[in-house]
Each structure stands twice: as structure tokens, then as C-alpha cells.
């Protein structure tokens, strides 16, 4: 081992390196040795050169992130790794191996906390070089401070430290100035080759506040393998830690010890393989092994803390009252009034796609959002709450946890939530209104909020409740079509569709298209049916009117749609093109997931050409597997062929053990789609 240590060389930038930028564009790398009233002197490439101050644009003092607690040549963990590096053949799937992924959380008696991430990685393959060397972290100025402790690579026994040149900090939400708070810092460790070892550490510290209490979710497994993942949480006596383990594998080692007036919790997991991409996988946090952490509290307590803060922000100005009154004027019932207020909020307040975790868990004062005419997924619902309140509709306000992450009741904390909504009973109907993008009608709750847990902050009921779950009929498309097939195989006819839920919301996004662009897309859509398909006309009504459902109709023709072979003519049902591409693999590790139930039904009639009769049509299919069902069948009558099918997806979470059933289901649909309808000349 000692012999090996001798070969570890420190290179890369010297301990101090500067860049002198001249007005004419030159960048001189060296050491600025002096500066006075007239000039700046830099030592570079073995000689000193002085430049008049008027020639100089900038001096950058480059910092090297080399403040390691233990030098690499003395760090036993590094030495062990270098002495016996992982073999790529042992990780045939992977670009790099995270040898150690350690998260250390120190909570202090005043409830402030510091999180330090430390990692060691080995690059196994070419494609692992860049992702292994890239790191980023974000923080909320005012609440958090963050920085890199150290980072370096060891390549061919050479140690290269990260320096300022490949560190960059800025704002990811510059295009949303009203929500431009989060700062994102990223860095790339230099001199990385296949076989390199990378070591890094960064920290952030946060101040405690009622609306930003301690909370952490620490995942242990990623898209590249992890040899050892460790979470260490230090909690001072007098504070109680609540935690929830989710999906932890067997063999996870947990310990809790007391030391120096602290409780120290340690979780350690070893040999975590990489994830592979699988179609319809749930959101990452829904399946990854993780520990969620919070300081002990209760949901009542969370509500008690947040409610007064929200009420402070419930500023309803005369202008807002007037607007609410104007909007509900002439509306006869609470439902109509709620719809009018929702429609105005969702359309007139620009949606700002900045998560509350990336800006604030407290809404902006409602009057501020009203004036700015812009709000995120917290502020738009809060403004709607204010307007509903101003209209006397007695709403409630809640935070909700979308389906993007798990929810457990065990950890009461406002930072569990990522969305907000208004609750209302109107004309006997229980409404959940969550205005965000302006494509959904008031009753079309976003799939990610259907059936999830929510916390009632302003309102009198139980704090925690379940959002309503939508049925497949509430997320559906129902179409009908009438076509005529002539003796030359040409097809013509019309198609119409009614949509609900996300189908309708998705189609409604065409409202943002200018007329010519919409025309173009419709033309392209019809052309996708057949190379010779041509759009004759279309209507897409009520695109911009959220008080009405869309009406979509088009007519088309397609020359040579059916092919002839001797006395036979063959064709497939237009638009029937189910595939089994999402069920191609023989087994899965992860569940199948969809955000909502759904339903697709269609009925189609084709008038057959004179002189032809139906020779063959696929047999009826009626299948129910893995919480999905499909029925389809052909009928003939009076020279007409009728096809009807109905696909219902009622199960939005299919466990891997049930995957073979899902696979069989999708393959049956795909096989049915492959079938030709064969006509024979009389």
C-alpha cells in the first residue's frame, strides 16, 4: 500500500491560479503577482508580464476545492478502492459505480440543520465519465446556504482538484422573475477517464422557520449502482426525530446510539444495483429505497402553524371583491359561481411552473397574485380561495401531495406537499379545484392529484383527507366514425370525438396555436392514418371556452386505403393500432404506473363496396387482465361493417408479479390490431 501511495501525484491547477482577462479578449492563466495604480503584473509560462490597468477587464482568482479532511494518499477508503478497483465486467450494465454515497445530517438544538453529501465514484465505462463527474445542488437563498467542500479525481495516480473554472451558479428560473429565487450550482470534476476515481463533498445549511421546518427524503438507489449508501442523522437530545423507511432492501443495517448529548441514527445499505429504464415506471420517489425524516409533530400542529400564516396573506382588496362580484353576477348557484371564479383564475393568472419547494411553502398574499396576474401551483389556488371567499362560497384550502412521491401519515410536515387546492361544497357537489394550466375545466382535477392525500389548512374538518379519485369515464375519449369504402379501395368519411379529463385538457392545448398551425396539425394528423389520407375539413369547437366541452370532428378520404390481391381486398380498421411495445420485456423489476384511470371507446361503421362481401373479420376479443379490460368485435349488416371496441384501464398500479398478465393483455390487443379485414369479390 505504501508503495502505491508514492505514485499519487497532485496536479491540475496550482494551489493558486488566476485568470487575467484583457479588454481585447485574451485570457491569461497564471499568478497575478502585483498590482498598483498603473499596472497589473502576472506570472505566466515562466515569465512576468505587466499590463496597464486600462488594458485589463477582469482578474479572476481561481479557487481550488482541495480542503479535504484527509489527503487522498492517507484516506484508507480511497486507498482500498485504488488498490482493488471495481471491475467493469462485474457491472455489465453500468457506466460508473458509486463506491460510497453518504449523507450526514446534523440537526442543532435551535432546529437549524446542515446536510453534507460525500461520495466516491469509480468510472467503469466511457459513457460513465460525464455523469460521474457532474454534480449539482440547489438552495434557497435566505433559508439556505450551500457550498462545495472539496472535489477531485484520481486518474492514473494523478490527483486533480476541482477549481472555480468548472463551477457555475445561477438561476434556473430566470424566465419567471417573480419566482426567481432558487439557485442552482453545478460542477464538473476535471480529468476523468475510464478507471478514474472521483471524490466529492458539498454541504448546505438551513435555518428553521415555521413554514420551512426540517424535512429530508434520502434515496439510496439510482440509475447507476451504489456499493455503500449511508445516512447518518444526528439529533440533539430534546428534539425527537420521526422517520419513515420506504422500500428498504433486506440487509439494511440500522443503528441508533447516544453520544455527547445527541442521538445518532445510521442507516447503511450495500450493493444496490442500478435501475434500468422500463416503460410506465412510477415516479422515482415512488419506488426508490429511501428514508424520510422530520422532527416530530402532528398534523394538527402543522395546521395550527400554517393557518395563521395563510390568513395573514389572505388579503382581499376591494378590487378583488369587485372582481369576484362581477364574475358571479347572474350565476344562479354555488356551482356556477365556483366555475366562473375558477375559469377566471385559471385563465387570467399566468401559471408559473416553479414548485413551492423551489420558492416558498407560504403563498404570496392573494392581492399580490391578483395584481401580478401570475402565480404558481400554490399561489393560483390561494387566489382562487380568496375569490371564493369573497364571493361568500365558504371554501377550504388544502395542501396536497401529488403522485410524484409517496406519502405517509407518520411524518407531519408542511414540506411533504407540492400542490395546493380549494375545497368547496357547491349545490351538493364536493369540488376540489386546483387551478394551474388553463386547459382543464373546473371538475377535471389533474391526474397527479386524483386520490392523493391532502392537508386541510384553512377549514374545519379533519386535517388529513383523500382527494376524490376519478373514474375511467372521467378520463376518457369516445369516438364514432362513418366511412364508405368504394370498389377501388378508396375510403372516405367522417370522425367525431368526445373527450373528458386529460384527453380533453391535452386537446385543449391547441387553443394556444394560431389558426394556420392548427390547420397544419390537423392535416398531419389525418395523414398519419395513411400515406394517401387527405383532410377534407375539421371543426374543433370551444377551444378557448372552459365552460364548454370540446367538439372535434373531421372528414377525410384516403385513396387506395384497401389493397387488392386478386379477388380479395384487405384493410385494417382506421386508427386501430395498439402495440405491445410497452410489454416487450419478459419480466420487470418496477411496477407499471399511470397517473389516472382511462377509457377509450369507439364505434365505427364502414359501408362496404358493392360487389364485395365480408370474407374474413377478426374474431371478437373480450379480455380482462391486470385491472385492464378490452372488448372488440365486428358485425355486418346490410352491406355495412360495424366495429366497436372499449379499452378500460381501471388499475393504475400493476405490481411486477402481475406484469405477465399485463403483457398478455397488451399482446392480445396488439395481435388484434394486426388483423386484416378481408373482403371477397362476389
Partner 1 sequence: MKNTLILASLLLPALCGAETVKLRSGEETPAQVLSLDADSVKLDGGRTIPRRDVSEIQFTAAQAAAGPGAASVAVSTEEAAAAKADFAQAGALAARFPGANGLVLLDSGSHILNPDGTTLDRNHQVRQILKESLKQAWGQVIACAEEGRDRVKIIKASVYGPDGKIYTLDPSQIKTSRPQEEGGDFFVSGSVCTQYVMPNVQVGSIVDYETETETYNPFRKDFFFPSWGFQDDQGPIAKSEVTVSVPEKEDFYYSVKNFAGLGADKPSVASAGGMRTYYWKLENVPPIVAEPSMPAYEDTAPFMRGSLFKEWDRIFDWTLAMHEERTRPSPELQEFTLDLVKDSKTEEEKAAKIYHYVQKKIRYIAVKVGVASGWGGYDANLTWKRGYGCCIDKALLLTTMLKAAGIQASPILLNTNNMNEIDYSIPQLGFDHAITVAEIGGRHIFLDSTGYDSRYPEIADFDYGVKVLNIFAKKIDYIPVPEPKENGSFYDFSMDLSSSGAADISERMHYTGSREGGLRYYYRSIKKEEQKQTFQGFAKSVAPSAELLSYEVNNAEKIEDPFTLRVNYRVPDYPQRAGNILIVKLPDFEIEQYRIGEISLDKRRYPIKYGDPMGRYYTYRISVPDNFEVVSLPEKINISGKYASFSAGCAKAAGGLINCSLAWERGATLIPPQDYAEYKDFIEKAASYTKNQIFLRDLSAEGK
Q: Which is nearer to partner 1, 61 or 653 (CB)?
A: 61
Instruction: Pick left, alpha or beta for residue 478 (phi over 0 → left; psi -120 to 50 → alpha; otherwise beta).
Output: beta
Please report which helix (H) or strand (E) contains residue 200, including its range: strand 197-206
212: DSSP letter: B
Least Cβ distance, residue 97 to partner 1 (angstroms): 13
Q: Could you say which residues in the range 94-123 bind partner 1, by CB under 8 A? A: 94
# of chain residues touching partner 1 (CB under 8 A): 113
Q: Could you say which residues in the range 592-621 bind partner 1, by CB under 8 A? A: 615-616
Least Cβ distance, residue 72 to partner 1 (angstroms): 18
* Residue 661 makes contact with partner 1 by CB under 8 A: no
Angle at 140 between CA 313 and CA 148, to 5 degrees: 170
Beta carbons of 678 and 565 less than 8 angstroms apart: no
Among 17, 30, 56, 375, binds partner 1 (CB under 8 A): 56
Q: Which is nearer to partner 1, 31 or 644 (CB)?
A: 31
Place of cell 378481408: 678
Q: Which is nearer to partner 1, 211 or 278 (CB)?
A: 278
Q: At what angle do helices 318-328 and 334-348 cross, to 10 degrees?
A: 120
* Residue 193 makes contact with partner 1 by CB under 8 A: yes
Beta carbons of 454 and 400 less than 8 angstroms apart: yes
Beta carbons of 673 and 577 less than 8 angstroms apart: yes
Among 506, 528, 539, 636, binds partner 1 (CB under 8 A): 528
* Residue 512 makes contact with partner 1 by CB under 8 A: yes
Nine cell digits for residue 282: 412510477
**DSSP sequence for 62-114:** E-B-B--SS-GGG-HHHHHHHHSPPPGGG-TT-SEEEEEEEEEEEE-TTS-EE
Strand-pairing partners, residue 614, are: 679
Question: Which ranges constitute the DSSP H helices of 257-298?
Answer: 284-287
Least Cβ distance, residue 34 to partner 1 (angstroms): 6
Q: Which is nearer to partner 1, 585 or 642 (CB)?
A: 585
* Residue 580 makes contact with partner 1 by CB under 8 A: yes
Q: Could you say which residues in the range 69-98 bind partner 1, by CB under 8 A? A: 92-94
Q: Which is nearer to partner 1, 1 or 565 (CB)?
A: 565
Binding region for partner 1 (CB under 8 A) out of 36-44, 102-110, 252-260, 395-403:
36-44
Least Cβ distance, residue 9 to partner 1 (angstroms): 12
Output Rg (C-alpha) for the chain, integer angstroms: 31
* Residue 191 makes contact with partner 1 by CB under 8 A: yes
Among 1, 6, 36, 428, binds partner 1 (CB under 8 A): 36
Least Cβ distance, residue 343 to partner 1 (angstroms): 12
Question: Which ranges constitute the DSSP H helices of 528-658?
Answer: none
Q: Which is nearer to partner 1, 278 or 473 (CB)?
A: 278
Q: Which residues contact 395 (CB under 8 A, 6 or more apart)?
A: 384, 385, 388, 389, 422, 423, 424, 458
Distance separating alpha carbons of residues 278 and 225, to the nearest angstrom: 16
**Residue span 389-428 as binding mask against partner 1, x where in contact by CB under 8 A, dash where not:** ----------------------------------------
From residue 301, alpha-carbon distances to 209, 211, 214, 356 in Å are 14, 12, 15, 20
* Distance, first Cα to last Cα, the chain: 89
Least Cβ distance, residue 453 to partner 1 (angstroms): 29
Nine cell digits for residue 481: 366514425
Binding region for partner 1 (CB under 8 A) out of 171-179, 253-261, 323-331, 594-602:
171-179
* Residue 188 makes contact with partner 1 by CB under 8 A: yes
Q: Could you say which residues in the range 426-445 bind partner 1, by CB under 8 A? A: 438
Strand-pairing partners, residue 295, are: 241
Least Cβ distance, residue 36 to partner 1 (angstroms): 5
Q: Which is nearer to partner 1, 80 or 520 (CB)?
A: 520
Give the residue from 219, 364, 365, 362 showing the smallest Cα distance to 292.
219
* Residue 584 makes contact with partner 1 by CB under 8 A: yes
Distance separating alpha carbons of residues 218 and 586, to the nearest angstrom: 31
**Residue span 548-567 as binding mask against partner 1, x where in contact by CB under 8 A, dash where not:** ------------x--x-xx-
Q: Which residues contact 554 (CB under 8 A, 6 or more apart)?
A: 494, 495, 522, 525, 526, 535, 536, 537, 538, 539
Least Cβ distance, residue 333 to partner 1 (angstroms): 27
Among 169, 358, 473, 650, binds partner 1 (CB under 8 A): 169
Binding region for partner 1 (CB under 8 A) out of 159-167, 322-330, 358-366, 442-450:
159-167
Q: Could you say which residues in the range 464-493 bind partner 1, by CB under 8 A? A: none
Q: Could you say which residues in the range 267-306 bind partner 1, by CB under 8 A? A: 274, 276-278
Binding region for partner 1 (CB under 8 A) out of 475-483, 490-498, 499-507, 662-670:
662-670
Amino acid at each position: 500500500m505504501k508503495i502505491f501511495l508514492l505514485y499519487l501525484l497532485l496536479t491540475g491547477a496550482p494551489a493558486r491560479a488566476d485568470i487575467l482577462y484583457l479588454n481585447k479578449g485574451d485570457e491569461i492563466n497564471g499568478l497575478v503577482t502585483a498590482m498598483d495604480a498603473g499596472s497589473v503584473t502576472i506570472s505566466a509560462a515562466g515569465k512576468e508580464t505587466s499590463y496597464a490597468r486600462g488594458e485589463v477587464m477582469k482578474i479572476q482568482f481561481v479557487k481550488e476545492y482541495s480542503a479535504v479532511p484527509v489527503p487522498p494518499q492517507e484516506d484508507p477508503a480511497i486507498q482500498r478502492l485504488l488498490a482493488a478497483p471495481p471491475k467493469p465486467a462485474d457491472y455489465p450494465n453500468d457506466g460508473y459505480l458509486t463506491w460510497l454515497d453518504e449523507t450526514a445530517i446534523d440537526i442543532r438544538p435551535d432546529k437549524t440543520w446542515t446536510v453534507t453529501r460525500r461520495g466516491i465514484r469509480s468510472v467503469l465505462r466511457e459513457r460513465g465519465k460525464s455523469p460521474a463527474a457532474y454534480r449539482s445542488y440547489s438552495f434557497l437563498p435566505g433559508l439556505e446556504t450551500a457550498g462545495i467542500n472539496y472535489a477531485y479525481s484520481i486518474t492514473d495516480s494523478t490527483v486533480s482538484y476541482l477549481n472555480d473554472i468548472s463551477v457555475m451558479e445561477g438561476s434556473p428560473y430566470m424566465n419567471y422573475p417573480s419566482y426567481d429565487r432558487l439557485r442552482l450550482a453545478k460542477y464538473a470534476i476535471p480529468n476523468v477517464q475510464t478507471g478514474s476515481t472521483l471524490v466529492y463533498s458539498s454541504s448546505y445549511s438551513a435555518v428553521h422557520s415555521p413554514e420551512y421546518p426540517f424535512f429530508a427524503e434520502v434515496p439510496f438507489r439510482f440509475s447507476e449502482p451504489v456499493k455503500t449508501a449511508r445516512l447518518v442523522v444526528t439529533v440533539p437530545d430534546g428534539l425527537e426525530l420521526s422517520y419513515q423507511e420506504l422500500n428498504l432492501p433486506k440487509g439494511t443495517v440500522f443503528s441508533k446510539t447516544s453520544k455527547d448529548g445527541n442521538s445518532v441514527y445510521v442507516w447503511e445499505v450495500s450493493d444496490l444495483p442500478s435501475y434500468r429504464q422500463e416503460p410506465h415506471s412510477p415516479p422515482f420517489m415512488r419506488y426508490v429505497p429511501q428514508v424520510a425524516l422530520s422532527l416530530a409533530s402532528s398534523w394538527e400542529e402543522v395546521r395550527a402553524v400554517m393557518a395563521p400564516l395563510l390568513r395573514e396573506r389572505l388579503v382581499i382588496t376591494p378590487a378583488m371583491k369587485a372582481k369576484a362580484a362581477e364574475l358571479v353576477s347572474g350565476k344562479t348557484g354555488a356551482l356556477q359561481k365556483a366555475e366562473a371564479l375558477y375559469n377566471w383564475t385559471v385563465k387570467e393568472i399566468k401559471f408559473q411552473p416553479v414548485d413551492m419547494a423551489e420558492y416558498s411553502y407560504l403563498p404570496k398574499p392573494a392581492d399580490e397574485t391578483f395584481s401580478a396576474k401570475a402565480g404558481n401551483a400554490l399561489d393560483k389556488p390561494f387566489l382562487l380561495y380568496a375569490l371564493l371567499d369573497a364571493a361568500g362560497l365558504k371554501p377550504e384550502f388544502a395542501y396536497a401531495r401529488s403522485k410524484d412521491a409517496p406519502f405517509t401519515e407518520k411524518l407531519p410536515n408542511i414540506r411533504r406537499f407540492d400542490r395546493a387546492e380549494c375545497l368547496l361544497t357547491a349545490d351538493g357537489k364536493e369540488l376540489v379545484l386546483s387551478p394551474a394550466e388553463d386547459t382543464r375545466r373546473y371538475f377535471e382535477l389533474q391526474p397527479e392529484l386524483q386520490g392523493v392525500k391532502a392537508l386541510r389548512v384553512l377549514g374545519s374538518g379533519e386535517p388529513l383527507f383523500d382527494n376524490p379519485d376519478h373514474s375511467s369515464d372521467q378520463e376518457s375519449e369516445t369516438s364514432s366514425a362513418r366511412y364508405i369504402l368504394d370498389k377501388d379501395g378508396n375510403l372516405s368519411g367522417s370522425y367525431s370525438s368526445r373527450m373528458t379529463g386529460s384527453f380533453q385538457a391535452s386537446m385543449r392545448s391547441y387553443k394556444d396555436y394560431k389558426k394556420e398551425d392548427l390547420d397544419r396539425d390537423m392535416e398531419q394528423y389525418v395523414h398519419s392514418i395513411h400515406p394517401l389520407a387527405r383532410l377534407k375539413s375539421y371543426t374543433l369547437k370551444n377551444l378557448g371556452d372552459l365552460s364548454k366541452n370540446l367538439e372535434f370532428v373531421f372528414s377525410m378520404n384516403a385513396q387506395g386505403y384497401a389493397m387488392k390481391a386478386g379477388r380479395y381486398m384487405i384493410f385494417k380498421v382506421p386508427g386501430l393500432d395498439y402495440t405491445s411495445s410497452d410489454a416487450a420485456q419478459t419480466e420487470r423489476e418496477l411496477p407499471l404506473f399511470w397517473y389516472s384511470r382511462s377509457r377509450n371507446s369507439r364505434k365505427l361503421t364502414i359501408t362496404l363496396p358493392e360487389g364485395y362481401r365480408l370474407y374474413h373479420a377478426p374474431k371478437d376479443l373480450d379480455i380482462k387482465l391486470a385491472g385492464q379490460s378490452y372488448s372488440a368485435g365486428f358485425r355486418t349488416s346490410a352491406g355495412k361493417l360495424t366495429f366497436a371496441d372499449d379499452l378500460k384501464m381501471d388499475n393504475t398500479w400493476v405490481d411486477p408479479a402481475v406484469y405477465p398478465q399485463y403483457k398478455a393483455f397488451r399482446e392480445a390487443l396488439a395481435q388484434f390490431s394486426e388483423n386484416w379485414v378481408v373482403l371477397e369479390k362476389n
